[in-house]
């Protein structure tokens, strides 16, 4: 199966290995991966900040970049997938772009959703990571993409990994894009609460589908000297082989 991949800004600029590891896993399960180097942002930062005209311009480019590609588009970010499937509905309501958007929405999937619900894959051969991990449900994955069990199914089949649930796993990590900048004290307080719940189950790793959430965790972890490592799901599934 051939797939196109969409690499979000956070992955491209801060966590490039997440993109490489997603490709590694997709190829492992039999996909031929295509990357369009013309792709840019999905437009979410501008949209969340209220710059709808600028967001629409970026979103139109996204639609054009991916409209003539494969049957499926896979991204290691539920946040960006959620923007395309939900935010674009707002940007392009009553628009001539509606058919183009509907086509894209039928093709785009977050990484774990694609593996489990499209390919029927719940175990990556050779995946190994020894230790205890707790999973963080990003707001976009849980509330915009209806993703909850998919990453847990994949993680439960990683050799050596014990998955433990923290309290209030469905609560926000405090990032929220520009929210973390505009309301720093509230944002950090939310992250500190999440980390208290995580520490209570004594994990070696906090794992998520969204690099933006992991960036938020990492900032507070570093400030407080907490000995917990964060990992994207793609990094975990690519470990050990």
Question: Residue 170 sits in a domain of what CATH number?
Answer: 3.40.50.11810
Residue owning tokens 């014990």: 162
Give the pTM.
0.94
What are the tokens at 47?
Answer: 């949209």
Q: What is the C-alpha R_g of the chain? A: 18
Residue 190 lies in a domain: yes
The pLDDT profile of the chain, 241 residues, written as one tens digit per residue, is 999 999 999 899 999 999 999 999 999 999 999 999 999 999 999 998 899 999 999 999 999 999 877 789 999 999 999 999 999 999 998 888 999 999 999 999 999 999 999 999 999 999 999 999 999 999 889 999 999 999 999 999 999 999 999 998 888 886 777 776 677 788 778 888 889 999 999 999 999 999 989 988 888 899 899 999 999 999 999 999 9
On whether residue 123 sits in a domain, the answer given is no
Q: Are 144 and 218 part of one and the same domain?
A: yes
Closest CA to 233 of 207, 213, 215, 212: 207
CB of 55 closer than 8 Å to CB of 41: no
Alpha carbons 2 and 188: distance in angstroms, whole number: 41
89, 171: one domain: no
Domains identified in the chain, total number: 2
Q: What is the spatial distance between Cα 21 and Cα 105, in angstroms, rounded to a whole number?
A: 24
Other CB atoms within 10 A of residue 131 CB:
11
Write out the two tokens for 51: 């710059």
């Amino acid at each position: 199966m051939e797939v196109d991949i969409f690499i979000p800004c956070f992955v491209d600029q801060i966590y490039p290995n997440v993109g490489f590891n997603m490709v590694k896993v997709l190829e492992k399960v039999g996909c031929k991966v295509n990357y369009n180097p013309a792709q840019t942002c999905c437009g979410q930062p501008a949209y969340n900040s209220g710059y709808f005209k600028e967001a629409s311009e970026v979103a139109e480019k996204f639609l054009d970049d991916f409209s003539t590609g494969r049957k499926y588009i896979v991204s290691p970010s539920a946040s960006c997938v959620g923007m395309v499937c939900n935010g674009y509905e707002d940007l392009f309501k009553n628009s001539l772009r509606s058919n183009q958007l509907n086509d894209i929405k039928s093709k785009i999937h977050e990484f774990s959703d694609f593996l489990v619900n499209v390919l029927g894959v719940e175990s990556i051969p050779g995946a190994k990571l020894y230790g205890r991990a707790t999973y963080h449900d990003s707001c976009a994955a849980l509330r915009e993409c209806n993703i909850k069990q998919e990453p847990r199914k994949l993680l439960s089949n990683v050799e050596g990994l014990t998955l433990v649930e923290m309290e209030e796993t469905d609560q926000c990590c405090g990032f929220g894009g520009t929210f973390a900048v505009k309301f720093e004290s509230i944002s950090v307080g939310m992250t500190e609460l999440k980390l208290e719940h995580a520490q209570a189950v004594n994990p070696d790793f906090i794992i998520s589908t969204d690099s933006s959430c992991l960036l938020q965790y990492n900032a507070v972890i570093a400030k407080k000297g907490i000995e917990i490592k964060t990992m994207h799901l793609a990094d975990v599934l690519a470990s050990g082989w």
